[in-house]
Amino acid sequence: MNDVDEVRRMLAPVLAGDTGPRHSPEEVLTSARKAVAQRRAVAGVLSVGVVLAIGASVLFAVTDRSTVESASGPVLTTTPTDVPPAPTTPGHAAELTARLAAADVVPDGFEIHPVVSERNEPPLRFSAHGPDTSGGYLASAVFSDAEGSVTLALYVRSATAPENCTVESGCVRFTAMNGPFFDQPAVKSVDGVEVEVARDLRTGLPGRVSAEARFPDGTVVEVTVTNQTTVMDHGSPYTRPTTRDSVPFTERQLVDLVTKPGFGYLP
Amino acid sequence: MKDKDAEFVEFVRAKHRHVRRTAFLLCADWHLAEDLAQATLLKLYRSWSRVRRADSVDAYWRTVLVRTVIDHRRPLKGSEKPVAEPPDLPADEVEHESGIDVQRALAALPPGQRAAVVLRYWEDQSVSQVAKVLACSEGTVKSQCAKGLAALRRELGSTLDKGGVA
């Protein structure tokens, strides 16, 4: 048996569940035509925006208006309607980092490392998250002890920010290929915080635990701990399961992480 | 000559399933594979005049698909977000233990090895064709394929021996 036959024989079982494309060729064509039309429309709007921006900058330069005044100028009228309620700022990111440190809610007994060691980004330090300002702030870290490592990601974002993770949004999800295999998560409420526990399909132990708190001011704080780490291969990140049996943190520790620091999306 | 839309519909009818399956082998998530296949087809439609002039339409879509998969992974730097939902892996799609074993084995491969193995062996492309799609040297492709294949054999050898993988 040659290598091609061997690999095809190996991979065949994973394709057994293929139910075929969800969309007919005609539906794909309709989507494609619509996407092209939208792309042209956006390009047109952006062109108008650039023209207005140039015009506005000239106008403001001539009238010597302040930056604050220029923010209410005509350029804003051409921006997309799904802009976030407020832009992220390095200053507020630093404030969130300080709040996390002061709250004393980070679990003890672990070595804390950056998620991707090659990038040497400090662990548990908030920074703007996502390709635009709608993503809010993210602080992440790998927690290690003798049993293994887990990855923690802590988000502070607006409730109005888009949550969908799509190809178009450029968001990366943990999938079966780049993450562990989990069962459907069990969801419950702990002191008003939604806690989800997803168990590893193989071990039956918690492989990913998350807690999400929604506050009256529109802030959403979410922490997710996953039993895996990120490593780089030829410049591409990928995730690998760790040696640990399950996520080590308690639900209470995660609830405290999202509630006690008093995070706010807005400065 | 047929018009662009008719040609595109004919292409989708012939290739959509294949594109989707290859996308699945690269990402192991049927829902994501559907999205990636759809995104690939949309890109092909936008560039249809170039697609129809290409020496090999199959080589063209493979390249676009791989780039789409890579682009989907790249934003991890600034926008990695573990979703609150479980991975898109309906139980009925991995109901067989052997299927789970294979997916685990694939999941253990670094992306470069996985793409090389899928293109070289599943798609039955030559080393030079794979090198072109992955924008790397033929030596890198050979090395990635050898390592990936060895890892799959190591992980799945016992399963194959037991006849678990049909």
Contact between A139 and A124 under an 8 Å Cβ cutoff? The reply is yes
Please check the confidence at residue A86 and state whether its pLDDT lies above 80: no
Give CA–CA dist B104/B99, Å, rounded: 9
Per-residue pLDDT of chain B (166 residues; tens, 9 = 90+): 458 899 999 999 999 999 999 988 888 777 778 888 988 998 899 888 888 888 788 888 998 898 888 766 544 333 344 333 333 333 333 344 556 677 778 777 887 888 899 999 888 889 998 888 888 888 889 999 999 999 888 887 745 444 433 3
Contact between A136 and A101 under an 8 Å Cβ cutoff? The reply is no
Give CA–CA dist A17/A38, Å, rounded: 34
User: Which residues of chain A have a CB within 8 Å of the CB of B29?
Assistant: 173, 175-177
Reported as a single tens digit per residue, the pLDDT across A168-185 is: 444 444 444 444 556 667
Interface of A with B in 27-56 (CB under 8 A): 28-29, 31-33, 35-36, 39
**Cβ–Cβ below 8 Å for A13 and B156:** no
Give CA–CA dist A259/A194, Å, rounded: 12
ipTM metric:
0.75
Chain B CB within 8 Å of residue A172 CB: yes
Which residue type sits at A217? D
Helices (H), chain A: 3-11, 25-63, 67-70, 90-103, 251-259
Give how far A115 is from chain B: nearest CA, Å: 10
Q: Which of B28, B74, B80 shows the shortest C-beta gap to A177?
A: B28
Chain A CB within 8 Å of residue B123 CB: no
